[in-house]
Amino acid sequence: MDKNLHLVVMAGGTGTRFWPHSRQTRPKQFLDILGTGRSLLQMTCDRFEPIIPKTNHLIVSNVSYEKILKQQFPKYSKSQFYLEPMRKNTAPCIALAAYKLRKKDPNGIMIVAPADHAIFQENKFIQVIQKAIETAREGKLVTIGIKPTRPETGYGYIQYLEGKGDVRKVKTFTEKPELELAEKFVESGEFVWNTGIFVWSVAAIIEAFEKYEPELAEIFDEGTNYYHTWRERKYVESAYAQCRSISIDYAIMEKAENVHVVLGDFGWSDLGSWSSVHELRAKDEHGNVLTGEALLYDCTNNFIHMPNGKMAVIDGLSDFLIADFNDVLVVCKKDGSAKFQKYIKEIKKTKGEKLL
């Protein structure tokens, strides 16, 4: 294995769209959403083991999840957990990883991946990643794109320039378009879904931060003498208090001129909602996903979760989410997870944090 390859997994999100299964104390990435016996974060690290040594797996997450990280990765060293004192989106997360890695391995290649995606054709995925690594060694910033199968409004899109092969220069990024625009993107054949998976050299991404986000670069560069020492945590707290919240797409990818996309097709889903999980889980003959016990009558295309020891009787529902997690029961349209922010806000207002 190449010791200069480093996996950086972004695992600091709260996963509100999977509430009430996902909670503030145990968000989506730490849950076995797909019923495999492994959490999404564990599955993410597992799929990179063929090409990246476990000792080079780095997980960037919120400091409040330190205990659960140690529980799920008991063989990882404490130094493999890069802990953020507060959430500031993906650009500070990636900057922290890049500047820490520069001190450890200035010639390193970073493979940056979200913690909560599903990939079902892992051999094909690894082939795409290896192609991205080759491209990154040329000094390019690389992202992975998936050929769209439908005009999805919940994904970002990447437009690429004409060319040959699976590596193309990026023309534009578009975040979550309206349906009419998404339909035009799919029809044009010039767009792919943005997976949020990135590959680049430590040197190339730091150069990009210095050029396009100089304030952010200065903040994390000043921490060089503190990284990998007992003084690091206090410095990182100060750094995060100073930097703004911004995504890596807005901060770097939409501005840089050396961005390329590797086109892939490996059975990908960002698992962004209960509906997306319903698509992937095993179903009965009427399209229902059931975990737990229930008697179903005239029910189609539902996602039903019941806790151990509780029986449900459900009659005449279609396309619903029925999720019973003991202290919270949610019954709503399966595609209604976009409203969860509203539900959570109201519960926080009336009941406080205990149910969140």
pLDDT at 338: 67
DSSP per-residue codes, 266-281: S-EE---SHHHHHHHS
pLDDT at 337: 65
Q: Where are the domains of the chain?
A: 5-269, 274-351
pLDDT at 304: 94
The pTM of the full predicted model, rounded to 2 decimals, is 0.90
- Alpha carbon distance 157, 306 (integer Å): 36
pLDDT at 91: 96
Task: Yes or no: say if 340 and 276 are a contact pair by the CB < 8 Å rule.
Answer: no
- Alpha carbon distance 170, 262 (integer Å): 10
Exposed, middle or buried by CB within 10 Å (0-12, 13-18, 19+), for 4?
middle
Angle 197-198-204 from CA coordinates, rounded to 5°: 170
- Alpha carbon distance 196, 271 (integer Å): 13
Task: Yes or no: say if 260 and 141 are a contact pair by the CB < 8 Å rule.
Answer: yes
Per-residue pLDDT of the chain (356 residues; tens, 9 = 90+): 789 999 999 998 876 777 788 787 888 899 988 888 999 999 999 999 999 999 999 999 999 999 999 999 999 999 999 999 999 999 999 999 999 999 999 999 999 999 989 999 999 999 999 999 999 999 999 999 998 888 888 788 999 998 788 999 999 998 888 888 888 898 888 899 999 999 999 999 999 999 999 999 999 999 999 999 999 999 999 999 999 999 999 999 999 999 999 999 998 888 777 888 888 888 999 999 999 999 999 999 999 999 888 999 999 999 999 999 878 898 988 876 667 778 888 888 887 777 77
pLDDT at 22: 78
Task: Yes or no: say if 8 and 109 are a contact pair by the CB < 8 Å rule.
Answer: no
> Tokens 């892992």 — which residue?
122
CATH 3.90.550.10: does it fit domain 5-269?
yes
What is the pairing mode between strands 109-114 and 5-10? parallel
Q: Which residues contact 228 (CB under 8 A, 6 or more apart)?
A: 79, 100, 103, 104
Query: What's at 32, amino acid-wise?
Result: D
What is the pairing mode between strands 303-305 and 293-297? unpaired
